[in-house]
Chains A and B, each alone.
Chain A
């Protein structure tokens, strides 16, 4: 009788341990799934493409890379265009690239300052700069 009690208690203990173990595994799996889901959702928002790649062009401006590398949760890749390439995030869209455009001065990274500041003058102007 006493031996049966011991056997019953051991079986009950093993059964309880199995249940706890199963619950632990399920909770762990749920955690992993939730983490993955959050990562995908968050990555979708933050992994917007950065116009980052600069390459020489016809506009005459010096160029430099200013961009950051987009994060990617699904392994999509950005397009490489002459310089470094950027990952473009979970949406799978391609990376974009820019080169310094427009003016005769300034690279991609900063607004170009004039060779010399405007000098004072008296009287009227040959031309007027104002709002359009």
Chain B
């Protein structure tokens, strides 16, 4: 008996020594610039990552397909311009306060009052708490993508903000440093220039799997060389999408996995349709056919299989309402370009096309050089202009100051084509960074308005198909490629929403829902 006890004790000790001790799993990733923690001010990628993990929204995009599914809401009904949402009754904020309809009303009113970030998506919407778990939204005008817009309305804990708002009417100081959501991760610390540390919220209403990272450290502003070394040292897990393709490629060669988030945006070369010679549609069509689409995609290729871009098939990225099929890939056609150029009212010998690129996005310089060489194939002179973002945003506010060609990456912030295309092409929104084309086309306006107010998906598909055809006809833009974000990652992490198309959200940043990730031993 005594001998057995000794054996059992020895076995237990051996097991204890050989079994891996329970250790906290830490996910480290990086993003550019600072992370904005206040959900009403969130607009860029880092902000979105924070927002989607610390806060929740009434609906979520359907994973792997179109449409939206209830999230904080248990369901909704639509009657004309009135949307009635019923809230789940099992949700509590990280503070322990229960989720109530008044929190939803407070969140939308706060967003509208601050007027920052993506609050413009909710302009003209009023909200009313009918009872504790029912909220009614009333729209001033019909707006088909309203439900899609709700993915940008994170719900804030009203009671917590009110208790901590101090002198701020809307608790801006408090929310710029603290979380007040229902999300799967709580904010442990936030230094806007260094990192935000988040920890798993054990009280999350959907539960968080044990394999999800216990702690997440989102670092800001790491240099490419630093990320390269950190991943090689095993001290970093997921890079930002802004690493140069060569660095991504080197990391992939070293065994890193490549994750991707299929974009709802694209890379555009926008033509100023008010400035000669681009006020002539034939000239614009000539330039559209001269652009070397194939080489552009090769320039953002990371490996033979993975690229930060896929071939554009028209004016609308593949997968959105109205997009063309994959058989309509854009290709360079110099013969057609020469034909259109011959029909252009301007003499190519007199042309000097300004091709601008944004100084903060060095990748764009390569496309500017590519396009310059394409133009020289047509005998057109061009000059490349490097414009800091601030200067570009100012210049495009006047058509005469806007360069002939403005290179821009644009994404649909809700995943809906309306948020991508309306701001670009509707004649009521000229002269913004999205609309340096200054397009003024009644048919385009009509299609955009129809897409915005259509009652059914079929009607929207028809409207955007018409829009796509009209845009290809009038060629205000060269549709370089459909964009997808690529991230280099260590093999310690599995991220199905960033690697399996059937689980992808189709919304920038939402693939970084840490609760859906899995930390594994290498």
Are the chains A and B members of one assembly? no
Measuring CB to CB, which residues of chain B are less than 8 angstroms from any residue of chain A? none
Measuring CB to CB, which residues of chain A are less than 8 angstroms from any residue of chain B? none
